């Protein structure tokens, strides 16, 4: 549905080139929800604005379905944009217009018949839970209600694609969850393809089928959301995943951590459990089978889409190094992802 081929975007500041996007290749299949995540300045907003050509790429091609947007005339592009709705962090509602009038605005610009406008807006008000706020003005709405109006307005032209630019960043956690649930319902009921950008891994894990991680204008890692959570490869991806699990080792342990094994130092491990392994008492099994001592420092369970993913940080202790090695092999054989964070001396 959405495809970017070798897209780059360069700005110039005081005559000096600034590369905002570097050779981006991206594909979002029809009906999927794809998230793009990265820190501020990674190029996420530029990327999504290049999809609908609010920013024209310096190099590369942009496709929606079989239509190459970068090859269209200005008039053809205006028509193609009707198939792409967009919502933003700050809602962009007209304060002097009611909920109904804000949603109707794009339809009136397209000179849609009044009876069609009425039928479509009634449907959208019901879909977004705003039927009772039809005549309210933006000043009378909560932040979540304003974003629902913005979503309904973006859907008014019956687009095939919905682009979301940090759509939940200004909302509290409870409201964020309700907006994400709405987007999921819209994807399921309308078959809408959704591309969203965010800096919040909680948004990614609740909503997305696939995820792309950006840094310095490049996509550094991408894949299925469960695979990315359980097998992150890039250091930034690991940082984002660990933040989603709310993992933070106490300073006491960090001060004692060293990279290489040494006498009376034991491995500090991060384990990632997915699907079947998340429901099994594997830590209890390893103490029974190998007689090792286990000290659990952190443990969390998260739902990533409809999949259970667990994370645990622990030390394994045994005087026999071969036993420790066999214990690590056992974890791997049980489809547990093992990362050795370092080695710690567990007693002074």
For residues 317-339, give the mean pLDDT: 84
| Cβ-proximal residues to 95 (8 Å cutoff; 6+ apart), any chain | 137, 138, 139
What's the pTM value of the predicted model, to 2 decimals? Answer: 0.83
Lowest-pLDDT range, 103-107, 113-117, 122-126, 250-254? 250-254
**Tokens 């089928």 sit on residue:** 209
Structure tokens at 100: 């109904």
Residue 277: its pLDDT value, please? 64
Q: What is the CATH number of domain 245-345?
A: 3.30.70.260
Each residue's pLDDT tens digit, 290-315: 888 888 888 877 777 777 788 888 88
Query: For the residues 135-142, what does the mean pLDDT come to?
Result: 95
As a whole number of angstroms, the distance between CA 63 and CA 156 comes to: 22
Residue-wise pLDDT for 117-134, tens only, equals 999 999 999 999 999 999
The CA distance from 336 to 181, in Å, is 30
How far apart, in Å, do the first and last CA atoms of the chain sit? 59
* Range picked from 92-96, 331-335, 340-344 for highest mean pLDDT: 92-96
Confidence at 49, pLDDT banded by 50, 70, 90: very high
Q: How confident is the model at residue 252 (pLDDT cuts 50, 70, 90)?
A: confident
How many of the other CB atoms lie within 10 Å of CB of 156?
A: 23
Give CA–CA dist 57/69, Å, rounded.
11
CATH superfamily of 2-231: P-loop containing nucleotide triphosphate hydrolases (3.40.50.300)
pLDDT of residue 272: 84
Are the C-beta atoms of 71 and 134 separated by less than 8 Å? Answer: no
Give the C-alpha distances (Å, rounded to integers) separating 148 from 58, 102, 128, 256: 34, 11, 6, 49
Q: 52-56, 256-260, 301-305 — which is least confidently predicted?
A: 301-305
pLDDT at 251: 77
| Tens digits of residue pLDDT in 80-97 | 998 999 998 888 899 999
Between strands 193-198 and 161-165, the pairing is parallel
pLDDT band at 278 (very low <50, low <70, confident <90, very high): low
Domain spans in the chain, listed from the N-terminal domain onward: 2-231, 245-345
Q: What is the dihedral of CA 188, 193, 196, 200, to 10 degrees?
A: 30
Is 274's pLDDT higher than 80?
A: no
Average pLDDT of the chain?
Answer: 89
pLDDT classification of 325: cutoffs 50, 70, 90: confident
How would residue 322 be classed by pLDDT, with cut points 50, 70 and 90?
Answer: confident
pLDDT tens digits, one per residue of 199-224: 888 899 889 999 999 999 999 999 99
Q: Residues in the chain, how many?
A: 348
247 or 30: which leads in pLDDT: 30
The alpha carbon of 298 is separated from its chain's Cα centroid by a whole number of angstroms, namely 24
């Amino acid at each position: 549905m959405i495809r970017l081929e070798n897209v780059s975007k360069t700005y110039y500041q005081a005559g000096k080139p600034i590369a905002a996007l570097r050779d981006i290749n991206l594909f979002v299949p029809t009906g999927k929800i794809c998230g793009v995540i990265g820190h501020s300045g990674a190029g996420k907003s530029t990327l999504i604005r290049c999809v609908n050509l609010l920013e024209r790429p310096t190099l590369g091609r942009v496709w929606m379905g079989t239509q190459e947007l970068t090859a269209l005339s200005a008039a053809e592009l205006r028509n193609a944009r009707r198939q792409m709705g967009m919502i933003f962090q700050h809602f962009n509602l007209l304060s002097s217009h009611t909920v109904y009038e804000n949603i109707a605005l794009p339809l009136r610009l397209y000179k849609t018949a009044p009876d069609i406008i009425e039928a479509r807006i009634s449907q959208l008000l019901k879909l977004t839970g705003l039927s009772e706020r039809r005549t309210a003005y933006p000043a009378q709405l909560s932040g979540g209600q304003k974003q629902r109006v913005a979503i309904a307005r973006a859907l008014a032209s019956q687009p095939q694609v919905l682009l979301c630019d940090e759509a939940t960043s200004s909302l509290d956690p409870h409201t964020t969850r309700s907006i994400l649930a709405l987007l999921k319902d819209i994807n399921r009921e309308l078959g809408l393809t959704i591309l969203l950008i965010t800096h919040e891994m909680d948004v990614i894990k609740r909503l997305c089928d696939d995820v792309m991680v950006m840094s310095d204008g490049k996509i550094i890692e991408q894949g299925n959301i469960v695979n990315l959570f359980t097998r992150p490869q890039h250091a930034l991806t690991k940082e984002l995943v660990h933040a989603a699990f709310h993992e933070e080792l106490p300073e006491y342990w960090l001060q004692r951590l060293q990279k290489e094994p040494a006498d009376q130092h034991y491995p500090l491990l991060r384990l990632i459990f997915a699907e079947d392994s998340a429901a099994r008492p594997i830590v209890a099994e390893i103490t029974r089978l190998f007689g090792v001592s286990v000290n659990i420092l952190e443990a969390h369970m998260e739902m990533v889409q409809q999949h259970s993913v667990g994370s645990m940080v622990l030390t394994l202790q045994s005087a026999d190094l071969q036993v420790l090695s066999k214990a690590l092999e056992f974890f791997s054989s049980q489809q547990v992802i093992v990362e050795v964070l370092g080695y710690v001396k567990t007693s002074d």
